[in-house]
Structure 1
């Protein structure tokens, strides 16, 4: 019984490690300009939900994704942690 339990736990651990490795291999799209980014994310991309827009009013709420923001950080001209806000 103990052997069976240890085998099951070992398989579960191996599965969780391989799943975590697959999840970390996902690539984040880097956009060349705001027009391309806004085609997929109308409100732009924010680093976190607490990011505040420095500019005027915006029409759309930004998509929150730290990885996507970091890949497109160069498109955040006003450095308010929201890239290509509209």
Structure 2
């Protein structure tokens, strides 16, 4: 009786943990991509930076960029000057 309860409890824990981990990974992969810089700048006025340590190559900017590696990677094609800040303004 105790062995059966232990096996069922173990199975429940393993199944429950693996089910939750799958949802977390799926939620992290859904990042919005934008068609162009105009659409991205409506939401993020200063653009999107890959990390907080990157420097702008293009000169003075009006706004600070939003920092998000996942969002930058999804919209990497919008970074024309390859300074790791997409659509800086």
TM-score when scaled to structure 2? 0.76
Distance 1:28 1:57 in 2: 28
1:32-71 alignment, distance < 5 Å: 32-71=35-74
Q: Which residue of 1 aligns with 2:22?
A: 21
CA RMSD of aligned residues (A): 2.4
Q: Which has the larger radius of gyration?
A: 2
Q: Which structure features the higher share of helix residues?
A: 2
Structure 1 unmatched ranges of 5 or more:
none
Structure 2 unmatched ranges of 5 or more:
none
